Amino acid sequence: MIQSATSNNPLYAHGTPPRFEEVTPEHASEAVPVLLEQAAADFSAFEESVESTWEGIFERLRELTEPLGYAWHITGHLMGVRNSDELRAVHEELQPKVIEFFTSMGQSTATYAALEELMKGDSWTALDSTRQRLVEKELLGMKLSGISLKGAEKERFNEIQKELAELSTGFSNAVLDSRKSYEMILTDLADVEGFPETLRQTAAAAAKENGHDDATPEAGPWRISLDGPVAGPFLMHCKSSALREEVYRALVTVASTGEHDNKPRIDRILTLRREKAQLLGYSSHAEISLATKMAEDVDSVDALTAELRAAAMPKAKEDHAELVKFAREQTGDADLELANWDAGFWAERMREKQYDISDEELRPYFPFPKVLEGLFSITKRLFDVDVVAADGEVQVWHPDVRYFRIKDAKGEDIASFYLDPFSRPADKRGGAWMDNLIGRAPLSDDSLRLPTAVLVCNQTPPAGERPSLMTHREVETLFHEFGHGLQHMLTTVDVPQAAGIESVEWDAVELPSQFMENWTYHEETVMGFAGHFETGESLPKDLFDRLVAAKNYRSGSGVLRQLYFGHLDMELHHRYDPSSDETVAEVKERVVSFSTVVPPLAEDHFECSFSHIFAGGYSAGYYSYKWAEVLSADAFSAFEEAGLDDEAAIEEMGRKFRDTVLAQGGSRHPMEIFQDFRGRGPSTDALKRHTGLV
């Protein structure tokens, strides 16, 4: 090896739990170039002597790339959860070189020739179906990596790949910096009248952390940021329309002006993606995206979108009309027209009145430790595994991070995961995600390397002596991310390239996560963990009933909003030509007229913070949420049909779900796995029923 065997750099410790507390930007600056040089040398040797066998191609490639992948993966992870100027600078310097190496691997004629040779004769028939599937996917992946390009076209393709990676990182950093740069300091008690106690505590704690040493929840000052756990409740509970307007306008213009403006990056990203598609012989980036997904083509996505839009649009119009009527009745203003920043406030008031329920009434019954217990309990019930706290056994990147092990029915370890639950707007990007830190793989001594997942949320943090008191939506998010983690951790596939979420088509990967959300409305599950954080009193039955009754409150608006995001994504990546006279803003106007009831403000540039499609993996794939929701709703309906009150039936169905969807990962096509579980192909009926659209 090139690096010193005695080096203390934690990024060289491939195959061991990462030493997160020790990793510095300097470690990445030292280790990644060394590991890159080693991987490049090993790959050159591989190309000179590649054998057309599974072991000769796939196993050798995995072995030579994993040390570099380990170091670069940890560096990227820390960019999301422990961001700093120093780390950004190192990442920005190294990323083009890493991209260049992996792009060159995807364009290796020696590898491609070996794969084609492997598909011939006895070598091919000797492979099992999982490995055959992976060979076919690898060949397609190499085609999409520009294997067929020569000369100037290949050079241009590689330039595009590097520039797109840089633009993606720049986009994400701009969103983080733009959100971080905004604050509203409230000092007048009248301005926080009606604030829930949780919001006052969170806002006062934020003020204290930002220089207002005397801040208290009772007397202020209170710091309002664009962080989800603050901005969302603020827009629902602030009585001042003027203050709501300021925060709302700041939210919808994140990263759209000044030094953080992402509009030029969006233009450039769309231009480069289209150019890349044309170099590869496709007419649009969407066609490239769908080449590796479950949906057959853009027409299939459009058909699903149209079907759900037809069901959601009338409901969304009803939702808005009811909200306007309610606001007029409450204010006595018969001519009142709701501004965009008023909708959240009045929707929360109407929900409180119709269902006599609010997030703040529920929060005390959803303390984070109890919710975790409930999540692990339903996991045990469904899948017969135990989740055991193992804090202190490994290093973590922040004191809030927890570590757990998963044990099977025999008490043996089968997986582990880190959980980073709370919002930290100063250095942690928003949203929630699961990352497959370490994948399941057989080792040379016939033992198994066990999978490790990272689960990241951005829920309301603890305040003072109080634990994190979660909204129901935050409970759903936690269950959602754990569903992703379960597919990674409960895999039984021993081919690393297909274990867990590896090689699962992108539009099927949300199935387990969205499936788990259903249990947050299941009475036995919720009543098992919902207890008042101070008194221990169980969630009152009538309050749970009201929660369920309110489940589909304004569901038409919610579904339509998701379809709007997916529609815009597909328009930009399939029908929009960046070289034409049409602009991104005009494309958005066209989509708005078709997919919204209440149009956004003229200055609304939410796309400038739409990290899913411009800095994540969802470009021409945002529809995947609804596509997978069809699958997850239909899967949960199997439990409904078996009988949610029938313990034996639930356990049997849970084991079946584990043995198919969770266990088989990317070893087979997701439609085959779904049909094995459900006994038929998917139907949209359950989704429409679950969301109140029928």
Residue 596: count of CB within 10 angstroms of its CB: 17
> Which residue pairs, CB below 8 angstroms and at least 24 apart, start in 655-661?
655/382, 655/383, 655/384, 657/382, 657/383, 657/515, 658/382, 658/383, 658/384, 658/490, 661/487, 661/511, 661/512, 661/515, 661/635
- Give the C-alpha separation, 300 to 151, whole Å: 36
Read off the amino acid at residue 687: L
Which is nearest to 451 in space by CA: 513, 406, 503, 509?
406
Amino acid identity for residue 619 in this structure: S
- The alpha helices in 50-150, defined as continuous H runs, are 54, 60-81, 85-106, 109-118, 121-125, 129-144
From the number of C-beta atoms within 10 Å of its C-beta (0-12, 13-18, 19+), residue 63 rates as exposed
* DSSP-assigned beta bridge partners for residue 184: 224
**DSSP type of residue 260:** G
Which amino acids are annotated catalytic?
A: 481
CA 233 to centroid of chain Cα atoms: 22
CA dist 656 and 678 (Å) reads 9
* Neighbour tally for 288: CB within 10 Å: 20
Name the 3-class secondary structure at 238: coil
Instruction: Write the CB contacts of 159 (distance below 8 Å, at least 6 apart in sequence).
Output: none
Cβ atoms within 10 Å, residue 680:
9
Supply the DSSP string of 555-588, one letter for each residue. HHHHHHHHHHHHHHHHIIIII--TTSS--HHHHH
3-state DSSP of 506-519: HHHCCHHHHHHHHH
Two tokens, residue 657: 């779900």
**How large is the angle between the packed helices 109-118 and 25-49, nearest 10 degrees?**
60
Peptide linkage before 221 cis (omega within 30 of 0): yes
| Cβ 652 vs Cβ 632: under 8 Å | no
Angle between helices 109-118 and 129-144 (to 10 degrees): 150
- Residue 364 CA to its chain's centroid (Å): 27
Task: Using the CB atoms, write b or e for 380-411: b if 16+ within 10 Å.
Answer: ebbbebebeeeeeebebbeebbebbbbeeeee
Q: Determine the Cα–Cα distance for residues 520 and 435; give it in Å rounded to an integer.
A: 23
Placement of tokens 């829920």 in the chain? 459
Helix (H, G, I), strand (E, B) or coil at 457: strand
Give φ, ψ of 394 to 5 degrees.
-135, 165
Helices H / strands E in the chain, number of each: 29, 9
Question: Rounded CA gap, 71 and 385, in Å?
Answer: 31
